[in-house]
Structures are given as structure tokens and as C-alpha cells.
Amino acid sequence: MTSSHTIHRGDLAKTSASGRNVSDLVFKNLAMFFAALILVLIVVMVAEMWNSSALSREKFGLSFLTRSIWDPVREEYGALPFIYGTLVSSTLALIIALPLSLGIAIFLSEITPPWLERPVSFFVELLAGIPSIVYGIWGFFVLVPWIRSDIEPILSSSLGFIPLFRGAPYGIGMLAAGLILSIMVLPIISSISRDVLKAVPRAQKEAALALGSTRWEATKIALSYSRSGIIGALILGLGRALGETMAVTMVIGNRPTISASLFEPGYTMASVLANEFTEATSQMYLSALIEIALVLFVITIIVNSFARLLVWSVTKHGDAARRQ
Amino acid sequence: MVMQPADNNGMSFRFYWRKSKSITMYMLSGLSALIAIIPLVLIFYYTLSLGLSAINWDFFTQLPKPVGESGGGLANAIVGTLILVGLGSCISLPVGIMAGIYLSEFGNNPFGMGVRFLTDVLNGVPSIVTGVVAYTMIVIPMGHFSAYAGGVALAILMIPTITRTTEEMLKTVPQSYREAALALGISRWKTSLRIVVRTAMGGIITGIMLAVARAAGETAPLLFTALNNRFWHTSLDQPIASLTVFIYNYGVSPFDDWIAQAWAGALVLMLMILVLSIAVRIATRSRYEER
């Protein structure tokens, strides 16, 4: 791959240096212009949100992130309940989705014969293709009633001594949001984990098997070998869960409170934007909402960059190991 | 034959224990694949059973009826979704495809690495945030909601998908094609467009369809850009209806016939996306088999 790139780059340099082909240079620069547009787009996005949130940034400063008051009537705003709701619902989703995703990844990379692997991974990827809004109405009309009538009573009677599982079974609330999010992040985490597991050099597993370990013990060695890639997959799933809007908005209850119980309604950064943006009547209200969007943007950028770097480093490592 | 040594018994117990643990763990992982498919089946089942009843000819040809009147359809919303996705494609296709060509053909340098990385990062930006950006960039200066703003919000979402799949597809074109074309004296840009891009065309179209399917299912970026419209739109300068926003508004409404129409809308949307995914699947499968 590397050698091939040098061939055509060298070729290009030669033609443009001799001035024989101006159109080549034009084409390259045109392509480069569009690539640069993507950089410009990100800069413009940040600048737009930074400028439009000036009112709220100047009035509340950094305390915007730590205040838990949200009162449009008195023009007092703080983002803490939304940050809390976003983090709790996403964490809950990851806790539910991680074991399942790992199971699927192991199933697809280690166990299934190829004829079964394609349909199963197709079905799991179909889950990723279902629009958020369809998850939303399904969650609202099917999942929430089920949580209210079955899951929450069972949880509170068996685990009610933990504050997390106390309170009236509303159905809508943090638990519903976490469950629906876990279904939505499952395809991402499992498909990347599968790829990472497949990148483990065969020699690793064969060595373990040759030493007399069972297939599961060999799988465990593959798992520990690809640990950082799986963490990357998990963080990519987190990035998706943090910004998920419609499905969460329809099942979380949309109340800006911080409570220990998962049964209580909550609110997330994305869902407050979806719900209140068109109702924002004053400049300060709008500015506060845009600042929430900015905070959400920055958080997801950090989370995604971190995850990308992890996944990149692992798959490169895998490629290198295979070539040896 | 006569007597098993004691430690041999212990060995075989340990061996069977490890063996059964291995089988149990593998069965658990198969079980988790089954569990993951349950919500998929349930979602399809409910959208089919609840949506099918509200689907009829009127659903595709009529405007929404006011509260209290039964019947009516979401024709304007279906057309609106197509227009919004079309607008988004008009903006994102040139950017995505050209940027993808750059990354694959010229991008083996720090600038290319940076663009590649930021494209991946842009891919993870929540869709609602692109809505906020389109709002501050277009809705505020124009003074009203419009189809244009919705199209821009969708375009921002589509660009990274198109860029990265174009790049990946161009990279699958064998290097010898490029070398052969260049050896024949064809200029570099003609090689890129007429040989490399044309060879990878199927894959690039696959990427475009994936981006279109994703954009058609988006609600959040349209809520405060394209807004909604209960009538036919008169110009792209005006708010426009979309299937997804209608599903949201009708789904949370207290009226039974609206809720039924929301399910029907969800069914239409799912079928559109399912058809696209299967088409993509078939297209990529035939390509893999060729190789």
C-alpha cells in the first residue's frame, strides 16, 4: 500500500513540475478544496454555537455547568440536570449493552460458520438502521407499559433496598431511556468488537489451543489481546448514546430533576433541545439552549476522538501483526 | 485398566469442568445474539400490526385532516421527506465524493490524516446539534423556518458517511488499474474520474444510499429547521412537512387516529429503509463474490 502511494504521488509531482498538465493540478486542488471544506465546516459549527451562546455564557459563566436550576420564567438557567441525565442514561445503556455485545462479537467472530454469520450480522446491523423516531414510538407504546407493569415492580420488590430501584413505577423515566439506548448502541459496539476480535492474529489463539486450553480460554486470550479496541467500541457506543435524541425524548419523562432512583423521570441535553428549542421565546432562553448544544458537541467530540484513536491504534496494530 | 491414579481423576474432573465452562460460555454468547434479535422482531411486529391498519390509498394521496375529522393522509410529509433528502444530497454529494477522492488518491499526508480523523469525528456529532447549527446559520438570518435549513442540517449529517465510504471504495480499486492508465499516458485526473471512480461506482452508490437512508430517518435536525407544515409547501423558502416530524407529532398526540397514522408513517419509513439496506446488501455481496 505504502509503496503504491509513492508511485502515483511521484508521478503526479513529475507531471505538475514539468507544467505539462495544468488540469491535473486543478483537479487535485479542487479535491483538496472540498476536503478542506470539512475542516471549515467543523470550525464554523463551533464558531456559530460559540457566538450564539454569548448571552448565556456571559451571564452564567462556568457555573452554567454546575447549577441545577432551569427556570425560563425567571431567566435562570443551569445545565446540571441535563448533563446528569445524559450521563446516567448513557452509562446505564452501556452497562446493559456491553455483555450482550461482547457475546454477539464472540459468537460472530469465533463460533458461527460463515453461512450463519452473514444473516446474523445483517440482523444486528438492521437494528442500527431503524430510525430513532421508530424506536421512540415503539418505546413509548410498547416498552414503557411493559416496564411499568413488569420490570419496575419486579426490580423494586427484589432490589428495592438499593435507592436506584425505589419509587413509584411510572414506566417512563431513566430506566426506560437506558433500555432503549442499550438496544440502539448494541449494533455499534458488537460490530466493532467483532472486527477487533477478527483482527487478533491467528497465532495467538492457535498458541493457546496448542498449549491445551479450551476454546473459551483461547477466546479469553483474544479478548484480552483486543482489550483497547473493545474499549474503543464501547466509547463509540457512548458517543452515540450521548447524542441520541428522539427515542430518549419520548421515554425519559422530560423533567429537569436529579434523583437517585432510575424509576424517576429525567431529562437529557439532547432532549431538552428537541423539546424546548422552538418554545424559546427570549434571547436568553435561546442562548442557554445553544450553550447546551455546544456542551453536548464538545463532549461528543472528545469522546469520539478518544474512541477513534483507540480503534485506529488497535486495527493498525492488528494489520502490522498479520503482515509479519 | 485396573485402577485410576487419584490425580488422574482430579485431572479429568478439571478437564471436564473447563470443557463445560467453555461450552456454557459459547452458548451464552449464542444466546446474546438471539436476545439482540428479539427487539428487532418486536419492533417489526408492532409497526406492521399497528401501522398496516392505517395504510390505505388516502394515506399516500391526501393531506392531513384537522383534529376530529377522520381519514386524511400524509402525502405532503412523504413528498417533504423526499425533497429534504434531495436538498441534503445536492449539497453533500459534491463535497463528500470530492473529499473522498482526495483522501483516497492524494490524502497520504498529514492534511489527509487530519481530514480523515475529523470526518470520523463529524460522523459522531449528534444530529440535534446539526439542527442547532442550521438554525443559527440559516433560520435566524432568514427570519423564518425553511426547507433550505432542513436540507443543510441533513447535508451536514450525510457528508461524513459519503466521504468515508467513497474513500474506502476507491481504495479497493487495484493499484494496477491506476498504473496501467498512467502508463498509457492518460492524465492523472482522467485516471481518477474515468478509471478509478468508474470502477468503484457501485460501492460509492452504496455509500450514498446508506447516507440517504440515514437522512430520511432523521427527526431531530428537522424539528427547528424545516419545522412542519400541514399543507403542501409552496416554496423551499417555507416550512415543509416531513414523515419523521409527523410521526413524532402524531405519536405523542392524544388522538387514536393520529397515533394510528404515526404507526403507519413508521411502517412506511421502515420499509423505505429496509429496501435500501437490502439493496445495499445485495450490491456489496455481489462485489465481494467477484473478488
Residue B170's contacts (CB-CB under 8 Å, 6 or more residues apart) are: B100, B101, B104, B105, B196, B197, B200, B204
pLDDT in tens, A46-55: 999 999 999 9
Which residue in B19, B93, B119, B121 has the most chain A C-beta atoms within 10 A of its own C-beta, making it the best mutation to test that interface?
A: B121
Query: What is the torsion angle, in degrees rounded to the nearest 10, for the CA atoms of residue A220, residue A221, residue A226 and residue A231?
Result: 40
Which residue in A1, A8, A134, A194 has the most chain B C-beta atoms within 10 A of its own C-beta, making it the best mutation to test that interface?
A: A134
pLDDT in tens, B129-172: 999 999 999 999 999 999 999 999 999 999 999 999 999 999 99
Nearest CA to A272 among B128, B260, B41, B266? B128
Distance CA B75, CA B55 (A): 12
Of B31, B47, B136, the CB nearest to A49: B136
Partner-chain contact A24 B270, CB within 8 Å: no
Distance CA A302, CA B132 (A): 19
- Residue B106: list chain A partners with CB under 8 A: 9, 12, 28, 31-32
For chain B, give the number of residues: 291
Structure confidence at residue B285 (pLDDT): 66
Structure confidence at residue B280 (pLDDT): 79
Nearest CA to B74 among B273, B270, B272, B268? B268
Say which DSSP state A124 is in: H
The distance in angstroms from the start CA to the end CA of chain B is: 56
Alpha carbon distances (Å) from A209 to A106, B22, B82: 16, 12, 55
Does the pLDDT of residue B273 top 90, yes or no?
no
Partner-chain contact B220 A27, CB within 8 Å: no
Which residue in B24, B93, B127, B132 has the most chain A C-beta atoms within 10 A of its own C-beta, making it the best mutation to test that interface?
A: B132
pLDDT in tens, B85-101: 999 999 999 999 999 99
Chain centre distance of CA A243: 7
Look at the alpha carbons of B263, B269, B272, B278 in this order and tell me if their dihedral is positive or negative: negative
pLDDT in tens, B109-136: 999 999 999 999 899 899 999 999 999 9
Structure confidence at residue B141 (pLDDT): 92
Segments of chain A scoring below 70 in pLDDT: 1-20, 315-324
Closest chain A residue to the Cα of B225, Cα to Cα: A278
Is beta strand A70-71 parallel, antiparallel or unpaired with respect to A76-77?
Answer: antiparallel
Alpha carbon distances (Å) from B3 to B7, B8, B9: 12, 10, 10
Structure confidence at residue A162 (pLDDT): 86
Structure confidence at residue B235 (pLDDT): 87
Q: Provide the shortest C-alpha distance from residue B52 to chain A (in Å).
A: 15
Exposed, middle or buried by CB within 10 Å (0-12, 13-18, 19+), for A37? middle
Neighbours of B150 (CB within 10 A): 34
Structure confidence at residue B94 (pLDDT): 95
Of B163, B214, B252, the CB nearest to A38: B163
Query: What is the torsion angle, in degrees rounded to the nearest 10, for the CA atoms of residue B63, residue B68, residue B71 and residue B75?
Result: 20
Query: What is the torsion angle, in degrees rounded to the nearest 10, for the CA atoms of residue A203, residue A204, residue A207 and residue A208?
Result: -150
Distance CA A128, CA A140 (A): 19
Nearest CA to B119 among B134, B100, B91? B100
Q: Provide the shortest C-alpha distance from residue A158 to chain B (in Å).
A: 23
Exposed, middle or buried by CB within 10 Å (0-12, 13-18, 19+), for B199? middle
| Helix, strand, coil tally for chain B in percent (to 5) | 75, 0, 20
Partner-chain contact A37 B248, CB within 8 Å: no
Confidence bin at B233 (pLDDT 50/70/90)? confident
